[in-house]
């Protein structure tokens, strides 16, 4: 599946709401903006967390603790059943060959193979990690598992 193949489901696209077109439209007079004030003006936007000049809650509360987001290692995940979909001529599988076939993104170097699906041909698979069931299925099909 590629981005250009995606289609919206029925009812996902609505026509644009026409505001300010008279009282009979149901969106006349204040055009759904309520009464007067800053948010009723054109071009107004109040940033999230702004409390009218009062010290915002997110600045009152202490920020403590550790977040691992900046230190994480990204690992692409692929199932054994996906390996069976690869071209018959490919016998050795690595992150580079999976990226060339379009199964993972090009910049991803680390891959983990999971055990969902079936494999019926011998493949030499090189990946960073394997689940136990994936190892069993690849070796049962006559293939080889290389962690690297």
Residue range 6-42, pLDDT digits in tens: 999 999 999 998 999 999 988 999 999 999 998 899 9
pLDDT in tens, 84-102: 999 888 889 999 999 999 9
Please state, in angstroms and rounded to a whole number, the distance separating the CA atoms of residues 93 and 98. 7
Mean of pLDDT over the chain = 92
Short-list 82, 96, 93, CA closest to 122: 93
Please state, in angstroms and rounded to a whole number, the distance separating the CA atoms of residues 72 and 32. 44
Domains of the chain: 75-147 (3.100.10.10)
Q: How many CB atoms lie within 10 A of CB 79?
A: 19
Cβ–Cβ < 8 Å for 41, 79 = no
User: Which pLDDT value is given to residue 106?
Assistant: 87
Total residues belonging to the chain: 148
């Amino acid at each position: 599946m590629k981005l250009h193949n995606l289609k919206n489901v029925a009812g996902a696209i609505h026509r644009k709401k026409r505001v300010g077109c008279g009282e009979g439209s149901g969106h006349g007079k204040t055009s759904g903006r309520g009464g007067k004030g800053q948010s009723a003006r054109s071009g107004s936007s109040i940033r999230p967390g702004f409390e009218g000049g009062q010290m915002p809650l997110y600045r009152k509360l202490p920020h403590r603790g550790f977040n691992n987001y900046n230190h994480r290692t990204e690992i692409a995940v692929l199932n054994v059943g996906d390996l069976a979909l690869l071209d018959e001529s490919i016998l050795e599988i690595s992150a580079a060959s999976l990226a060339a076939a379009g199964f993972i993104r090009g910049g991803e170097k680390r891959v983990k193979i999971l055990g969902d699906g079936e494999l019926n041909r011998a493949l030499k698979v090189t990946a960073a990690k394997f689940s136990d069931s994936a190892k069993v299925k690849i070796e049962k099909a006559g293939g080889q598992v290389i962690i690297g």
